[in-house]
Chains A and B, each alone.
Chain A
């Protein structure tokens, strides 16, 4: 009677076991690595917008302040998107008849809003307040990146809780003077190590890590 298993089957069995262990180790490791990548968090994702609005032209080229369009950034929870009417003062003369402006013309004619795609999304259980950050020395760039270099707006920060809490634990190093809030590419002057602390004292900014600061 021949043996039920050949000598080779021992090696097959061992191989299968090792492979199974490898899969069990590698798959979670890959998954856990993946969620730590910018791709998993949607950073630098291209988001199609109904209007080919180019921040480079408006911010770098025309030097328009962020708050001309995002007017509620320093007085409301939401930074606010400009109403269609906000485009009109400049664009009655410029480009109004171009194809790029077609959605704007349509919105003005029909009275229906332009459906912008949201770029920066926080979960619903997070209560973020723009006014509290903008008026307390957190620059637009700190979270939204170099918008002046973006053809279409994209998310640049991870928007994870760790990322939020890093700053909430010690906000001083990221604070800017009031006149530099909307500045792009601002850097702290060389050799200035204390201005963050001074600004924190002036803004009455301190460590804020109570859960209900953001979760209500």
Chain B
């Protein structure tokens, strides 16, 4: 058995194809339409070689057609399961957990292989949508770098040996009968089954201690809730009812446990009542910030000052003065822009009391959370748009959360046996805890983890963990809704679950997770036909009815709020010593658990468009002061620690601080993740895990190639062509002036009117897509969904540097306005399926043609790779297979491919097909069922979109959503003046003017496209 997949890192695969110096030349390249060298004749290929190759390829091209398909076998079932029709996919409901909270999913299985993850429409955290991590999780199931063998004492072992060594008979001898020498370290979890088993372990070993830790699960919200509300309650929001939303460093629409639901709710509210406003204060532009009506860049400390200012402004409003029970509050020092933002936000909040939400990000300190509780209470939001529930996490996620205490114990030698259940804490713990050293000092340590990662290396035992698609279990969503986790495939590498390991510790032997779960079900639901029916129903629906957590109405302790306000005030008046640094989860690889996922590594960040790296994000002004440009390696010094990281200049980043994403700089066995980016944990400390001050930055003179997919830093005068005329809605509380329609005819003048589509049959449907830019957050879930659905390959960092990324759907990001307060536009860009498609005219072999139902078809088996089509495409959405990206995939990696879509070979052009495989299957299903019309078709991007920004359907069906959306006054075609008549229409973004800051929503003029 190969340990490492033995295929090496596929990122390196392309190196042999081209000289290294080429990349470095490209790394320096900052702009321009063509990469350097594009116009030069090829080097190292003489005329003679060329003729020789020409002759050989001509001869071989003919021979290639003479090879018959290799003979193949068919393996029918011995006993056919009744539900299986070969070639037809099956769907199962399950749930994926991230940072303890579940999102309900429906997973497609083709011939026993899970291939595609979709959201579960019945699950409250999903409502049918799935985020990038859920979408990409299926690739990680097949990751060839996953651990495959149980290791113990440096050599290969077995599950049986683990079960013997950690069963009470053996364990009690080591850790004492009461378990005084036993410590458990878990990632925060809400699984009732794990809770039950943990209880049994603690019943057997009463002196054992449990610690929960995950890098991105902060202790601050609980601390604030305990201080202000009296218990570890979590806020729940109803964004549908909230007309004004203020977020303080909270990316509520694209990250965090309930973001899919909140993004949907927010989008629905915006559609129904467009007049509301979203105010965002954040250090780094996030998807939520880019859709904000009023965004301000503030450093982590600046956010605290803004929170304090908001509470003071609300208190100074006569209507709310009585409700803020803190006594007179001080005024934090604010810049003019901050004061304007805060007063506008406070005025809007006050004007929408009871219909507003104030939210703080998990990375914010407890004081900010305290102020936010106070604001929601004072504004009367609690009970309408905001309510509280107990946390679904076991012990609210923080029983003896003190990882620092555990680390000290480990180093002190008091611990005999440490059991680490998932989470890779040796990587994710702040550097000052030196957790890996502590773990090594423990005589017996057991790690259950999917990879032979940093923690596995520090532990004496390592058991491969089962992927959630291989596991039985249960989980709870942020609102408490419980789901069963059911496997779609038997563990590929004999992985085990947390529950199975806890059962061993509890002395229950090697009971399977399924049996443990059934036993727990019997314990809670009884033992009869009804319980079995409920079990089947829970598996089928993916949710267990009636498990939502009860609402709690706490009383606010105003003295605690006053203390928090005072602390913030004091902090904001303290002289700043050095710069600030914010540690955030990477949008793609989160805290590092997705670092080996190539889809996510290559997913461009929603704002920076950076792939395969993290970087020190800094504002243009700060970069200018430091004399640093994007790609310069800088030395970050925080206290006694230093870290070299590449700088990346981001308009809209708060001046006075940088942001560094976690999850990179991995050194474990994950070959795709190794050497990518820098490890932010090396700078983090336990006391300041998400933001610290006192940072100094020095230049090193070195450069680092950053693979960024979009070099656009301004919209280059094309604003209206690409993004449509922006619409400004007056702040008029519902009575809305009609939005400005782009004054452009739908169809250019023509001498040849195309024939009308037939009334029935094939071609009667005319497929089209409408994308609403007003609700698109740029979260990029659609990009990963498209990649999974359409077998889109990954090209690696070198490929991205050469602009060879293969995404059929990309999110273009445009920035305009001043560099310190820019405005962001995101635009999903995919094949526009032009009715007059420029690509079709130039293909010499007819490999791209138009179908009767309005699709721009791409026929791989006809394509000879001239790339004329790509050159002639004004949207640049065609992708060329420069290499055989699929040839070197590991055996398991091939299993993720969607059998409904051709896997493309080298030398072939490809592009968005409007998920033609789904369209055709829907048409066939309608035909087989005898339906006159094709039923609704969902493209992969549309299905996963949390905000339902993407609508797909037939233009000729007057009842279809797409036909309605095309008639929207905000509808426009991208680059419509070219006369390509795209079948993808966009709805222009509208921003709401504010009473307090009317200038913020001005319509851009030609000279307004500033940027750099």
Q: Which residues of A are at the interface with B, using a C-beta cutoff of 8 A?
A: 31, 35, 40, 42, 47, 72, 75-78, 80-86, 107-108, 111-118, 121, 123-125, 127, 129, 131-132, 135-136, 204, 206, 208, 210-213, 215-216
Contact = CB atoms under 8 A, between A and B. Distances in A.
B913 interface: yes
B394 interface: no
Contacts of B852: 210
Interface string B814-857: 00000000000000000000000000000000000101110101
Interface of B: 62, 65-66, 68-69, 71-80, 85-88, 761-762, 849, 851-853, 855, 857, 859-862, 900-903, 913, 916-917, 920, 924, 927-928
Given A85-B79, A135-B928, A211 B72 contact: no
A165 to B, nearest CB: 13
Contacts of B79: 83-85
A117 B73 contact: yes
A108 B77 CA distance: 10
Contact of B920 (A76, A107, A115, A216): A216
A132 B75 contact: no
A84 B78 contact: yes
Nearest to A124: B902
Contacts of B927: 132, 136, 204
Given A72-B85, A72-B86, A216-B916, A111 B78 contact: yes
Contacts of B87: 72, 76-78
Given A42-B68, A78-B87, A107 B928 contact: no
21 contacts: A35-B65, A72-B86, A82-B76, A85-B78, A86-B80, A107-B78, A108-B78, A111-B78, A116-B76, A123-B861, A127-B920, A131-B924, A204-B761, A206-B762, A210-B852, A211-B862, A212-B859, A215-B860, A215-B861, A216-B902, A216-B917
Nearest to B919: A212
The dominant DSSP class at the A interface is: loop
B851 A211 contact: yes
A51 B691 CA distance: 70
Nearest to A42: B68
Contacts of B68: 40, 42
A215 B859 CA distance: 7
Given A125-B861, A132-B927, A116 B902 contact: no
Given A84-B77, A117-B71, A216-B913, 14 more contacts: A72-B85, A75-B928, A82-B76, A84-B76, A85-B77, A113-B78, A118-B73, A118-B74, A129-B924, A131-B924, A204-B927, A206-B762, A215-B860, A215-B861
B504 to A, nearest CB: 30
B10 to A, nearest CB: 22
A83 B80 contact: yes
Contact of A212 (B72, B85, B851): B851
A31 B66 CA distance: 9
A112 B72 contact: no
Contacts of A124: 902-903
Q: Which 10 A-B pairs have the closest CB atoms?
A: A77-B87, A81-B76, A83-B80, A210-B851, A113-B75, A76-B85, A83-B77, A78-B87, A78-B86, A84-B78
A41 to B, nearest CB: 8
Contacts of A76: 85-88
B86 A132 contact: no
Contact of A216 (B65, B80, B900, B924): B900
Given A84-B78, A123-B69, A206-B762, A132 B902 contact: no
Nearest to B851: A210
A81 to B, nearest CB: 4
A72 B86 CA distance: 8
A16 B520 CA distance: 89
Nearest to B70: A121
Nearest to B849: A211
Nearest to B69: A121
Given A123-B69, A131-B928, A204-B761, A81 B74 contact: yes
